[in-house]
Structure 1
Amino acid sequence: MSLTPGQTIALGNLSRKKAGEQVDWINIADARALTDLGLAERNGGGWTITPAGVAALAHRDNPDSD
């Protein structure tokens, strides 16, 4: 799966947010695209990374892990 640079940044921010870190703002268009891909979701607390998003980010960081 190929993500745009903005989507990659947003996914990384969502990962850090899940870990409890303070993150920069998340571009809504990028977050919506991640939602369409199943990598993020929107809930009452804002945007969150999904398990598929965590896996995609891990694969991006370590592409030889297949």
Structure 2
Amino acid sequence: MALSEGQMLALKNLARKQAGDDVDWINISDARALTDLGYAQRDRVGWKITPEGQEALAAAT
């Protein structure tokens, strides 16, 4: 499945956030779509990328 430009940006930002980088805000609509796809999850401290999201990002680049 192809991700929208906003969803791909959110996925990239989540990967950067997990790596410890500072990132801009994550669009909630895009993050929710990523959650529905299993590419992200929400926890107490915000959104985080899942292993499936990392695989999708690697496949897209």
What is the TM-score with the length of structure 1 in the denominator?
0.91
The question of 1:49 aligning with 2:54 is answered no
Number of equivalent positions: 61
Q: Which has the larger radius of gyration?
A: 1
SS state of the match for residue 15, structure 1?
Answer: helix
Q: In the aligned structure 2, how far is the partner of 1:21 from the partner of 1:43?
A: 18
Q: Which has the higher contact order (CA 8 A, sep 6+)?
A: 2
Q: Which residue of 2 aligns with 1:22?
A: 22
User: Tell me, which stretches of 5 or more residues in structure 2 are unaligned?
Assistant: none
TM-score (norm 2): 0.99
Q: Deviations over 1:10-61 (max 9, x none)?
A: 0000000000000010000000000000000000010000000000000001
Superposed CA RMSD in Å reads 0.3
- In structure 1, list runs of 5 or more residues that go unmatched: 62-66
Identity of aligned residues (%): 62
Amino acid at match of 1:50: T
